[in-house]
């Protein structure tokens, strides 16, 4: 089962503010500011507004729309209630994003009255919990379930019984298949193929000859075949930490020290999850609420505090502190479970890894701040108190 909330951010705002119901609500940046649409209500979609669209474009299409900033905290709270509700139906719930999840309902009590009734029961439970509608797809595998949930939005329910995969997919356009983006669509269309049914007419070796490695995926997906399992402990896509200052500041040295502390926290969490990052992003919000992000990518994935800090510090040094800073944060992304194969004589890197293993043992016994980077120490700064950090 795939559960997908309908226009989630916008629906939450319409629930909080009844006066917005039935009106075009656009969540993202405010008109006149740089940014993109995070969510659009179905009323706004009638004007052509959709997620990831520049706010300026959305405003030109729907100037009378209600533009609202993203309220991440509220959305996460509602999302948590939804996922808790889903866990009552299956022990295997995979959170795909803040507003969608997969459930393995094989053998679960909810299916005793049939698949359609199972979908009805889940949708009702979500509505009872948060007063929001969801679209549900039920199928023999995750790939089909996700496509099914999208066919009757909003507030839809689509069931694809085993054995009817080909019939369900046949009339759909090729854009519905995983991995088929705008460029790929045109590439497929150029060969006279517009529907999944047309793909089904080709053998595997023919599709590979036409599209290379993509042809292999097109062959299996066009036939509704997917072997991926529902995983209730999906690895994190990023690990970050940020803090908001009680008193806004422009002190570069103090910001560097705070950034070092944040880098330590991120490094500890990476190692606890046995993850390595190959991208670091710096986030700064000024007292004017102007927010900037700067990122750097690197070939060798890392999870060591001082290396994360060195990348973040490089980004910070390139930012002109023309205004006071109210928030600073660091995020490690492009995560993987392995770094790279160590060469036999890379003793420095091996010793550094051993060092962090020892540091983590000390922190586990005496507290995370029992031993820190020297760069995280603020030297002789008056009225500078240690900040309390909130993980994100």
pLDDT for the residue 197: 95
- How far is residue 86's CA from residue 273's CA, in Å, rounded to a whole number? 25
pLDDT for the residue 367: 63
| pLDDT tens, residue by residue, 271-313 | 887 788 999 999 999 988 889 999 999 888 888 899 999 999 9
Cis peptide, bond prior to residue 154, ω within 30 of zero = yes
| pLDDT tens, residue by residue, 130-139 | 999 999 999 9
Q: Which two tokens stand for residue 215?
A: 């042809």
| pLDDT tens, residue by residue, 143-196 | 999 999 999 999 999 999 999 999 999 999 998 887 676 777 888 898 899 999
The matching CATH number, chosen from 3.30.1490.100, 3.40.30.10, 1.10.10.10, 3.40.50.970, for 238-391 is 3.30.1490.100
Q: What is the pTM of this model?
A: 0.62
Cα–Cα–Cα angle for 339, 342, 346, rounded to 5 degrees: 125
pLDDT for the residue 341: 41
Please indicate whether residue 119 or residue 32 has the higher confidence score (pLDDT): 119
Catalytic residue ranges: 100
The answer to whether the beta carbons of residues 244 and 258 sit under 8 Å apart is no
Domains in the chain: boundaries: 1-136, 165-222, 238-391
The answer to whether the beta carbons of residues 42 and 23 sit under 8 Å apart is no
| pLDDT tens, residue by residue, 194-253 | 999 999 999 999 998 988 877 888 899 999 998 888 987 666 788 999 988 878 888 888
pLDDT for the residue 231: 84
CATH class of 1-136: alpha beta
Q: What is the dihedral of CA 297, 302, 304, 310, to 10 degrees?
A: -20
- How far is residue 392's CA from residue 389's CA, in Å, rounded to a whole number? 10
Locus of tokens 């097109």:
218
pLDDT for the residue 235: 64
Closest CA to 156 of 48, 1, 18: 1
pLDDT for the residue 288: 83
Q: Which residues contact 312 (CB under 8 A, 6 or more apart)?
A: 259, 262, 263, 280, 282, 330
Answer left, alpha or beta for residue 245, where phi above 0 means left and psi between -120 and 50 means alpha: beta
| pLDDT tens, residue by residue, 28-84 | 888 988 778 989 999 999 999 998 888 999 999 999 999 999 898 899 999 999 999
pLDDT for the residue 274: 77
The matching CATH number, chosen from 3.40.50.300, 1.10.150.20, 3.50.50.60, 3.40.50.2300, for 165-222 is 1.10.150.20
Which of 87-91, 94-98, 293-297, 340-344 shows the lowest mean pLDDT across its residues?
340-344
B/e letters for 71-109, b = 16+ CB within 10 Å, e = fewer, are eeeebeebbeebeebbeebbebbbbbebbbbbbbbeeee
């Amino acid at each position: 089962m795939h559960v997908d909330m309908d226009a989630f951010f916008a629906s939450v705002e319409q629930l909080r503010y009844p006066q917005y119901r039935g009106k075009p609500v656009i969540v993202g940046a405010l008109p006149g500011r740089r940014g993109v649409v995070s969510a659009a209500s179905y009323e706004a979609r009638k004007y052509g507004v959709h997620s990831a669209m520049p706010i300026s474009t959305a405003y030109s299409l729907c100037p009378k729309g209600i533009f609202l900033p993203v309220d991440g905290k509220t959305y996460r709270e509602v999302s948590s209630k939804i996922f808790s509700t889903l866990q009552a139906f299956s022990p295997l719930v995979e959170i795909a994003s803040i507003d969608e999840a997969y459930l393995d309902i094989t053998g679960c009590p909810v299916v005793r009255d049939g698949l359609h009734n199972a979908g009805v029961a889940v949708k009702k439970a979500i509505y009872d919990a948060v007063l929001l509608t969801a679209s549900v797809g039920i199928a023999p595998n995750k790939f089909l379930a996700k496509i099914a949930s999208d066919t009757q939005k909003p507030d839809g329910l689509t069931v694809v019984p085993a054995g009817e995969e080909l019939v369900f997919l046949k009339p759909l356009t090729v854009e519905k298949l995983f991995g088929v983006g705008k460029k790929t669509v045109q590439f497929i269309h150029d060969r006279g193929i517009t529907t999944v049914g047309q793909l089904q007419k080709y053998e595997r070796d023919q599709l590979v000859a036409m599209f290379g490695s993509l042809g292999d995926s097109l062959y299996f997906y066009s036939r509704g075949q997917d072997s991926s399992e529902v995983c209730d402990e999906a690895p994190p896509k990023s690990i970050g930490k940020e803090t908001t200052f009680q008193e806004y500041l422009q002190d570069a040295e103090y910001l560097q020290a705070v950034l070092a502390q944040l880098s330590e926290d991120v490094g500890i969490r990476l190692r606890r999850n046995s993850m390595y990052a190959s991208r670091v992003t710096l986030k700064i919000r000024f007292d004017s609420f102007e927010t900037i992000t700067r990122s750097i990518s690197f070939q060798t994935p890392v999870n060591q505090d001082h290396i994360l800090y060195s990348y973040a510090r490089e980004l910070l040094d390139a930012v002109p502190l023309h205004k006071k800073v109210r928030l600073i944060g660091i995020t490690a992304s492009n995560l993987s479970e392995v770094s790279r194969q160590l060469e036999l004589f890379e003793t420095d890197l091996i010793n550094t890894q051993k060092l962090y293993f020892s540091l983590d043992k000390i922190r586990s016994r005496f507290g995370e701040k029992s031993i820190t980077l020297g760069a995280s120490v603020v030297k002789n700064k008056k009225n500078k108190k240690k900040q309390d950090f909130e993980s994100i």
